[in-house]
């Protein structure tokens, strides 16, 4: 780490742009497949949650970062502190009432060699974490990693990491998650 903690500025900027771009793509994909925005709960700088519904009245709700806890788990009586010493906050979580599935989407993008690729190896802990929180609610978990262009370039170098992720029940997609792969 650089003195003064400035080492994460460049990845943070790349990641933020990637998260915004992928959110717009996700909303567009949901709209194209018959889901319309019903409500948006805004935070200080970005949405906290978005409720969408299709013509069959099937609902999906998107949660961002801490909102998965405050808007999804805690109203159901599930508090991460009762199970874990640290709280994880996903980039995006999608709950489908139709499939009773909570899809956790972790978005990773970087512009050069660094530690972001190592974070992919945390997939088994993330699965354990969310399965633990969802078990009392009988909700299924799906963990998807949405990876930016850097990971396409590094696909052969990260082959063993991608195999490990799949072996732990985690899936990954480059740039865009196909709508047909979402369990909604």
The SS3 call for residue 150 is helix
pLDDT given at position 10: 47
Which range among 5-19, 60-74, 162-176 shows the weakest confidence by mean pLDDT?
A: 5-19
Q: What value does the mean pLDDT take over residues 40-65?
A: 90
| CA-to-CA separations, 86 to 65, 73, 126, 170, in angstroms, rounded | 14, 15, 12, 21
Q: What value does the mean pLDDT take over residues 27-52?
A: 90
The single-letter DSSP state of residue 44 is S
pLDDT at 91 exceeding the cut of 80: yes
Overall pTM > 0.85 = yes
Section 131-142 average pLDDT: 98
- Judged by DSSP in three states, 173 sits in strand
In sequence order, what are the beta bridge partners of 141? 102
φ/ψ (deg, to 5) at 172: -145, 150
Say what percent of the chain tops pLDDT 90: 72
């Amino acid at each position: 780490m650089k003195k003064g903690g400035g080492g994460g500025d460049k990845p943070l900027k790349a990641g933020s742009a990637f998260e915004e771009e992928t959110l717009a793509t996700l909303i567009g994909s949901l709209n194209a497949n018959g889901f319309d925005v019903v409500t948006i709960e805004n935070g200080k700088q970005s949405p906290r949650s978005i409720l969408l519904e299709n013509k069959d009245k099937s609902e999906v709700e998107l949660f961002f970062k801490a909102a998965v806890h405050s808007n999804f788990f805690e109203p159901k009586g599930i508090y991460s502190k009762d199970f874990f010493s640290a709280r994880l906050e996903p980039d995006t979580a999608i709950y489908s009432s139709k499939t009773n599935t909570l899809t956790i989407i972790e978005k990773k993008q970087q512009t050069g060699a660094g530690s972001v690729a190592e974070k992919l190896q945390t997939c088994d802990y993330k699965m354990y974490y969310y399965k633990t929180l969802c078990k009392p609610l009988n909700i299924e978990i799906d963990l998807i990693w949405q990876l930016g262009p850097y990971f396409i370039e590094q696909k052969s170098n990260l082959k063993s990491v991608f195999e490990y992720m799949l072996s732990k029940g985690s899936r990954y997609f480059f740039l865009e998650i196909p709508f047909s792969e979402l369990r909604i």
